Amino acid sequence: MISKLLIANRGEIACRVIETAKKLGIQTVAVYSEADANARHVAMADEAVLLGPAPSKDSYLKGDKILAKAKALNVDAIHPGYGFLSENAEFAKACQQQGVIFVGPPASAIEAMGSKSAAKRIMQEAGVPLVPGYHGDDQDEATLKASADEMGYPVLLKAAAGGGGKGMRQVWSEKAFTQALNAAKRESMASFGDDHMLVEKYLTRPRHVEIQVFCDSLGNGVYLFERDCSVQRRHQKIIEEAPAPNMPEGTREKMGEAALKAAKAINYEGAGTVEFLLDEDGSFYFMEMNTRLQVEHPVTEMITGEDLVEWQLAVAEGKPLPKQQNELKLKGHAFEARIYAEDPDNDFLPSTGNLALLSPPPTSNLVRVDTGVLQGDDVTVYYDPMIAKLVVWGEHRDSALQRLYRALGDYHISGVTTNINFLKKVANCEPFKRAQLTTTFIEQNSQVLNMNVGVDVSAQLPAMALLSVLSRREGHNNTIATNAADTHQDTVSVWDLAGSWRVNSYYSETLNFLVEEREYTVVVTHLVAKNSHESPRYRVSTATGEYTVSGSLNNHVLIAYINDERSRFSVSHVGNEYGLYSQNTQVSYSLQHPDLGGDHSAHGDSELTAPMNGTIVAHLVAKGDKVGAGDPLLVMEAMKMEHSICAPSNGSVTEFFYQPGELVDGGAVLFEFEPDSE
């Protein structure tokens, strides 16, 4: 029996495991890095132990230290979550040797599937269909390129030890092969310590469909249906759904049986996922097997009513599977949307910052939010930028999709750039509604998804004015600032504290708002209250009309009465920066003060600066080399992903200010660039 469980992970998956453990009466131990000392998973656990500094290599990847802590605390089992040590065969072996249950498959199964090339050979022998490709040990570039040339382009380069889109590149022509190979190898080495590559034929319109399998130590195995994970960016999933739409029952059964063949071929135990590419003609091909619980497991839980973490713990204790295949029923439809701190308008670059506002939609048995962060937490450069997983259920796909769209509109975050609006565009676009899914869905529908549907700022000016006035009246008491550090301690201007009383007149003030580099001006007249119980009222004059406005501000909620129509907004306020959010409104704006002649001169060229906090990986050119506009000059890594910084014009780099391996802050000037003379 497991009576005490250590969760060797962080974030939402650590919180998710702790919730089930508590339900089962199991004591929990959290581990944390210095950056996560105040994290949600630490607060949820019964005990917590510090591992080390923020970088994962110094904390969450320290298997020996985690195991030592587990032994010292008399832990019965370790749950690895996903990522980090979850597919580390050596760690699984060490747990077994130390008499600690590893809540996952045997080390032999992890090893068998840990190498994509070895996994392909095993699957071929087991009769599981494979995509044509090269999975050999000869890693000479000429050998890899010859295989690609023979297959014909496009091809897909994949890290043999990889997962999550790391070390993966599409190659569309022979000319692009070398650069793509070098980039994939670098990313694979950085992520997995191994740059062994596979080359596979790239299917141009496949779907990514995966089967959830479960096996116990007694020889039983089941599949809990499938998930469609086709909607991806950079080979990482952003919306998953279950079951896969337009999936004939016969195909579901064939794919499920093939997945069980794969699991039984390696004597699998526990939760696993077998991933397939489903082609347009109904044929499917094995991609890989993930020997752990998947990020997207909640959609399977929603359509089956099963707790997969509870299943994992039961199997780890040596118990038989809770249900057999004929007892598993598929009910309704579920979606999972991954809420990321990233900028879809800037190539999905990760975003860091403080979560000044974190207001998720109301949860129920139909709407679920799995998260590891709280309002006021920081999103740092050290870990994956996923904030939460939003999961919804409906009787059928249309009702589930409608619920997803509504819940996304009710998810309000400020302090970091997020992908919420992008997810709403995906959920609301016709191709997605019609389930026209492929792994290139985002690229194929980029015109629709990248369309900038701006908010009618003019219609929101009365509420913006009310928020600004009320937060100024109450903000000096730190009513809605995230914490004391967010409030300005400067001397307060007498104009900011001015009340509404004037001799023989009302007090009026002009407010200037800046929204995406456009300025809006409103005039706010403070009206005299009729009695002491009446809320302050204001007349707000804009270029499009005049409004009578009143309301209240309580923490991060603004109740606004605009011409007697009531609206509710989530709000944020840090310094002069404000955010106003509702189902169909997301406006970030700043309150502009009069220009007193400060220095507004520009410093440097934006193309020469780091787009985010990160680490320099490589210089791609030498000082003095002639380059063309758009040529990649150096590679940065942030949040486990590589990003190329390109030349702003024809010219040459005269100086690099940072060397490979050095950390840089977002906005730092990376190099000196001399453009060619006209």
Mean pLDDT of the 410-416 span: 95
One domain for residues 70 and 90: yes
Please name which of 426, 537, 553, 532 lies closest in space to residue 480, comparing C-alpha atoms: 553
Residue 386 CA: distances (Å) to CA of 11, 40, 214, 242, 389: 9, 14, 26, 21, 8
One domain for residues 347 and 269: yes
Q: Has residue 502 got a pLDDT over 80? A: no
> What does residue 361 show for φ and ψ, rounded to 5 degrees?
-70, 160
Residue 114 lies in a domain: no
One domain for residues 561 and 610: no
Q: What is the pLDDT of residue 127?
A: 93
For residue 672, what are the contacts with CB-CB under 8 A and spacing of at least 6? 608, 653, 654, 655, 657
The CATH number given to whatever domain includes residue 86 is 3.40.50.20
Query: In the annotation, is 292 catalytic?
Result: yes
Q: Which helix (H) or strand (E) holds 542?
A: strand 537-542
351-394 per-position pLDDT tens digit: 999 999 999 999 999 999 999 999 999 999 999 999 999 999 99
One domain for residues 175 and 259: no
- Picking from 557, 592, 627, the residue at the C-terminal end of a domain is 592
Please name which of 133, 124, 159 lies closest in space to residue 265, comparing C-alpha atoms: 124
Given a contact cutoff of 8 angstroms between Cβ atoms, the answer to whether 359 and 413 are in contact is yes
632-659 per-position pLDDT tens digit: 898 888 766 677 888 888 999 999 999 9
Q: Has residue 438 got a pLDDT over 50? A: yes
Residue 122 lies in a domain: no
Given a contact cutoff of 8 angstroms between Cβ atoms, the answer to whether 539 and 549 are in contact is yes
- Residue 629: how many CB atoms within 10 A of its CB? 13
pTM (2 d.p.)? 0.79
Given a contact cutoff of 8 angstroms between Cβ atoms, the answer to whether 330 and 301 are in contact is no
One domain for residues 309 and 226: yes
Q: What is the pLDDT of residue 280?
A: 83
One domain for residues 443 and 492: no
One domain for residues 463 and 445: no
One domain for residues 426 and 309: yes
230-240 per-position pLDDT tens digit: 999 878 899 99
DSSP of 630-646: T-EEEEEEETTEEEEEE
Q: What is the spatial distance between Cα 56 and Cα 39, in angstroms, rounded to a whole number? A: 15
Residue 132 lies in a domain: no
The CATH number given to whatever domain includes residue 383 is 3.30.470.20
- The residue written with tokens 């701006």 in the block is 454
Mean pLDDT of the 515-532 span: 84
Q: What is the spatial distance between Cα 63 and Cα 115, in angstroms, rounded to a whole number? A: 20
One domain for residues 463 and 577: yes
Residue 112 lies in a domain: no
Q: Average pLDDT of the chain?
A: 89
Residue 510 lies in a domain: yes
Given a contact cutoff of 8 angstroms between Cβ atoms, the answer to whether 168 and 159 are in contact is yes
570-618 per-position pLDDT tens digit: 999 988 899 999 998 889 999 986 544 344 333 344 457 887 778 898 8
Q: Has residue 479 got a pLDDT over 80? A: no
Q: What is the pLDDT of residue 647?
A: 87
Residue 175: half-sphere exposure toward Cβ, Cα within 13 Å? 0
For residue 559, what are the contacts with CB-CB under 8 A and spacing of at least 6? 551, 552, 553, 566, 567, 568
Exactly one of 10, 233, 292, 338 is catalytic; name it.
292
- Picking from 175, 201, 227, the residue at the C-terminal end of a domain is 201
One domain for residues 333 and 384: yes
Residue 197 lies in a domain: yes
Contacts 24+ apart (CB under 8 A), 321-328: 321/214, 321/215, 321/216, 321/220, 321/221, 321/222, 323/222, 324/220, 324/222, 325/222, 325/223, 328/222, 328/224, 328/225, 328/304
The CATH number given to whatever domain includes residue 670 is 2.40.50.100
11-43 per-position pLDDT tens digit: 999 999 999 999 999 999 999 999 999 999 999
Q: What is the pLDDT of residue 604?
A: 40
- Picking from 51, 78, 103, the residue at the C-terminal end of a domain is 103
> What is the band of 532 on the pLDDT scale with cuts at 50, 70, 90?
low
Q: Has residue 431 got a pLDDT over 50? A: yes
- How many domains is the chain built from? 5
Mean pLDDT of the 522-541 span: 83
Residue 124 lies in a domain: no
Task: Please give the residue that has the higher pLDDT: either 273 or 117.
Answer: 273
Lowest-pLDDT range of 118-127, 144-153, 285-294, 492-501: 492-501
> What is the band of 133 on the pLDDT scale with cuts at 50, 70, 90?
confident
Fill in the amino acid letter for 37.
A
The CATH number given to whatever domain includes residue 568 is 3.30.700.30
447-459 per-position pLDDT tens digit: 889 887 667 899 9
One domain for residues 433 and 484: no
Could you list the residue range(s) of the whole structural domain that residue 636 is in? 606-675
The CATH number given to whatever domain includes residue 164 is 3.30.1490.20
One domain for residues 506 and 390: no
